[in-house]
Amino acid sequence: MSVEKKNVQRVKNSKKSKKSNPSDFILIFCIMSLVCIGVIMVFSASIYTSSIEYNDQYHLFKKQLIFALIGTVAMIITSKIDYRIYQKYSRVIMGIAVVLLILVLFVGTKANGARRWFNIAGVSLQPSEVAKYAVIIFSAANMTKMKEEIRTFTKGFLPFVVLMAVICGLIYLQPNLSTALVMACIIIAMFFIGGGNLAYIFASGGLLVVAALAAMLLTGWRSNRLTSFLDPEADLAGVGWQTKQSKLALGSGGIFGQGLGNGKQKMFYLPEAQNDFIFAHIGEELGLIGTLLILALFLLLIWRGLRIALYAPDTFSSLISFGIIFMVAIQVIINVCVVTQLIPVTGMPLPFISAGGSSLIFLMAGMGILLNISKKTPISRR
């Protein structure tokens, strides 16, 4: 066989191998481990709540299990869809997200003074979860086209400021400050990783901090949370109750925990034990070892996602991979910091683990996009 024919055959074999790459096994392991732990811990944390509110101790467990199964199907489906299709329809996806964010303000289900969900046949859909992926896809698609123009003010920075103002503004009106801040962080991070001007990035970051502080100080219940954070002992029976019980749960767990199902704080002492404060519940029942295991799984997942972003076959897939994994990372950081009283209380669930349908399903669908990209990289076997 001639040298030329050998080279042609090598290229064909390389393409064939690239097409037949399996999904990233380590990433799948992390995702499914976190989801399984989440289902178990939701059952443990919600057994008393389900018994009293629904007369069925398995109610929330069954719902979370169903959501996990739906999420798994969604992840399998998105892992088989070529990621390039999102680039083609990025504007349509962004348009749908904006329309949903507007509609939820008028026809969304109202709960605890907020309109954040659509209730469809008994299933809640949170438009902000759609918006997170829409922003990532839209930003990645536009930055891929911009190239050097992203460093300019009018064509690079200004469109991202407008995007941030529209999306974050609509989410803030629900009201949902924590998710609005997460969205802003995602947009700024995407702008940074896409090669945006550092001066503009620092300026937008400063404006974000000022806006967040203003939103907290000018709203009564948010300012109470800030006051409680600065002086937790001031109102232990009121706004300081949740963080105090969270610390008690973590502290009483010790190194090895009180044992699965043996926690006491879930007996209506710790509010939202199966939702935003499930990390504290894990600390109580599984101890320091259990919490470190959870954090280790998250770190492994984030590391694997960053490797996929680094070795992605093109700019769009690299940016979308980074955006998805950054979204997970920032939510983990915020949730853990809230539970350990490092920042004021916000309504941020722990990804894959906290009870909730929209969050889990969309997270797993997003992981499917990462898995599809991993098939096109040379690292899926390592």
Residue 382 reports pLDDT greater than 60 = no
Of 9, 37, 40, the residue nearest 301 (C-alpha): 37
Contact present, 318 and 310 (Cβ < 8 Å):
yes
Residue 234 reports pLDDT greater than 80 = no
pLDDT score at 221:
63
* Mean pLDDT of the 291-320 span: 95
Tokens 């499914």 appear where?
Answer: 32
* Mean pLDDT of the 1-28 span: 56
According to DSSP, residue 196 is labeled: -
Tokens of 78: 């998105």
Which residues have C-beta within 8 Å of that of residue 129, sequence separation ≥ 6?
A: 358, 359, 362
Q: Which of 5-19, 188-202, 262-276, 364-378 has the least mean pLDDT?
A: 5-19
Strands (E), the chain: 109-111, 114-120, 123-125
- Domain ranges, ordered by start, for the chain: 24-374
* Mean pLDDT of the 216-222 span: 68
DSSP 332-371: HHHHHHHHTTSS-----PPTTTSS-HHHHHHHHHHHHHHH
Burial 270-300 (b: 16+ CB within 10 A, else e): bebbbbbbbbbbbbbbbbeebbeebeebbeb
Read off the pTM.
0.90
Peptide bond into 232 cis (omega under 30): no
pLDDT score at 216:
75
Beta bridge partners of 117: 109
Beta bridge partners of 113: none
Which residues have C-beta within 8 Å of that of residue 66, sequence separation ≥ 6?
A: none
Contact present, 183 and 168 (Cβ < 8 Å):
yes
User: Measured between alpha carbons, how far is 228 from 218 in angstroms, rounded to an integer?
Assistant: 16
Confidence of residue 21 (pLDDT cuts 50, 70, 90): confident
Contact present, 79 and 371 (Cβ < 8 Å):
yes
Backbone angle region of 181, left / alpha / beta, with phi > 0 → left and psi within -120 to 50 → alpha: alpha
3-state helix, strand, coil in the chain (%, to 5): 70, 5, 25
Contact present, 345 and 223 (Cβ < 8 Å):
no
pLDDT tens-digit profile of 39-89?
999 999 999 889 988 899 999 999 999 999 999 999 999 999 999 999 999
Q: Which of 124-128, 141-145, 223-227, 329-333 has the least mean pLDDT?
A: 223-227
User: Measured between alpha carbons, how far is 366 from 78 in angstroms, rounded to an integer?
Assistant: 8
User: Measured between alpha carbons, how far is 297 from 309 in angstroms, rounded to an integer?
Assistant: 18
